[in-house]
Amino acid sequence: MPLSRITPQHYAALLEEKVAAVSALLAPHAPPTPQVYPSAPTAFRMRAEFRMWHDGDALDYVMFRPGEPQTPLPVEALPIACARIQELMPALRTRLRNEPVLRGRLFQVEFLSTLAGDTLLTLVYHRALARDWGAAAQALARELGVSIVGRSRGQKRVVGRDYVCEVLRVAGRDYRYRQYEQAFTQPNAALNIRMLEWAGGCAGARTGDLLELYCGNGNFTLPLARYFDRVIATEVSKASIRAARENLAANAIDNVQMIRLSAQEVAQALAGVRTFRRLAQLPHPLTHYALRTLFVDPPRAGLDPHSLTMAAGFDAIIYISCNPHTLSRDLATLRRTHRIARLALFDQFPYTDHMECGVFLMHR
């Protein structure tokens, strides 16, 4: 995103334009008037990454315009980053400039922070980490009050932890999450809370059990579990499954079963087309569960044809989408069996064309 697009004084007008564009895209599906959840215009982003540009004694955070990979644009400040990242940026750059062991062949810096200020820095190098890198990184971590991960090809060294601890207060309850370095997390924590509460509002009137696809680290799983008797949550990434199980244990949530299956495999299992040994981890056969509600938060590509076919059999569907275009495509199929009861627009990414959408569908 070009820094020139970050214009907090115009945020309300930019959001209005984006809402109008997404509403027009989804209009053929006859949704109700959307609930719109604006972002704070500044200090909302909990993640940031920069290339590091070396020029003599100078060392700068830089970004690049699309199509211009050889023209670095120095970044002195990033007003959309959370306060902790904004505070750390100049302090870290000054320290790196004066520490040859940490600076040499440094290619990229990644910041990951939380609402509580717990912060992790990842330093990515185009060289092997030197033997004395660890001592220098430990001194930097103490000085800045952060954890640090050093990465180069085939190497990963951790000073402190390779995750941050986040606490999100959702509908009056605190949920604790481990968010691992270089794993996906929602970048706008305040809007993430609004999404979790909206999804909970949709789930509140439901009964029976929940099937969740693409559960990631359990971001939605944890607060949704309170509304259902049992939850089967699926994810294909081993690292995400590990994080989700840790997060369930940290929050003493015991009615969720995590299974490492893709969305397509889940659809095949429910249809009886294939059997999977991993389903033996469940305390009961899949047919024993009263799976009446489906929750999906797919990647930008949307739902695959098998998942769309499977979804037709659910009483209710809660669909979180990061791509309104593939959402519109999927709604063209889902509306054959379901009606749209609620629509929400979450401005997770101000000053961009991206809009996070939430759709609640009920069987006709």
The strand pair at 106-112 and 47-55 is best described as antiparallel
Helix (H, G, I), strand (E, B) or coil at 156: strand
| Cβ(242)–Cβ(250) below 8 Å | no
Is residue 360 pLDDT above 90, yes or no? yes
Query: Do you know the residue count of the chain?
Result: 364
- Could you please state the CATH topology (level 3) that the domain comprising 47-164 is classified under: OB fold (Dihydrolipoamide Acetyltransferase, E2P) (2.40.50)
| Cβ(340)–Cβ(29) below 8 Å | yes
The CA radius of gyration of the chain, in Å to the nearest whole number, is 22
Active site residue 322: yes
Give every CB contact of residue 151 below 8 A, 6+ residues apart in sequence: 122, 123, 124, 125
Q: How far apart are CA 74 and CA 52, in angstroms?
A: 9
Over residues 179-186, the mean pLDDT reads 93
Active site residue 356: yes
The predicted-structure confidence for 207-245, as pLDDT tens digits, reads as follows 899 999 999 999 999 999 999 999 999 999 999 999 999
> Residue 111 has what pLDDT?
98
The secondary structure of 6-75 as a DSSP string is --GGGHHHHHHHHHHHHHHHHGGG-PPPPEEEPPPSSS-BSEEEEEEEEETTEEEEEEE-TT-TT-EEE-
| Cβ(271)–Cβ(310) below 8 Å | yes
pTM reported for the whole predicted model = 0.94
Q: How far apart are CA 111 and CA 130, in angstroms?
A: 22
Is residue 141 pLDDT above 90, yes or no? yes
Catalytic residue among 202, 215, 322, 357: 322
In eight-state DSSP terms, residue 187 is: S
Helix (H, G, I), strand (E, B) or coil at 296: strand
> What one-letter code names the amino acid at 362?
M
The predicted-structure confidence for 30-46, as pLDDT tens digits, reads as follows 999 999 999 999 999 99
> Residue 305 has what pLDDT?
93
The predicted-structure confidence for 3-13, as pLDDT tens digits, reads as follows 778 899 999 99
Q: How far apart are CA 201 and CA 205, in angstroms?
A: 8
Give, in degrees to the nearest 5, the angle at Cα 320 between 5 and 121: 55
> Residue 272 has what pLDDT?
85
Q: How far apart are CA 151 and CA 121, in angstroms?
A: 11
> Residue 287 has what pLDDT?
85
Q: Which two tokens stand for residue 134?
A: 């660890």
In eight-state DSSP terms, residue 81 is: B
The strand pair at 58-64 and 72-74 is best described as antiparallel
Give every CB contact of residue 33 below 8 A, 6+ residues apart in sequence: 343
Provide the residue ranges of all domains of the chain, joining segments of one domain with +: 3-41+185-363, 47-164
CB atoms within 10 A of CB 17: 11
Quick one: residue 55, left, alpha or beta (phi over 0 = left, psi -120 to 50 = alpha)?
Answer: beta
Query: How far, in Å, are 18, 22, 37 from residue 355 at the CA level?
Result: 8, 8, 10
The strand pair at 316-321 and 291-296 is best described as parallel
Q: How far apart are CA 163 and CA 182, in angstroms?
A: 9
Helix (H, G, I), strand (E, B) or coil at 191: helix
Catalytic residue among 202, 235, 356, 357: 356
Mean pLDDT of the chain: 95
Homologous superfamily (CATH) of 3-41+185-363 is Vaccinia Virus protein VP39 (3.40.50.150)
Over residues 17-28, the mean pLDDT reads 98
The predicted-structure confidence for 322-346, as pLDDT tens digits, reads as follows 999 999 999 999 999 999 999 999 9
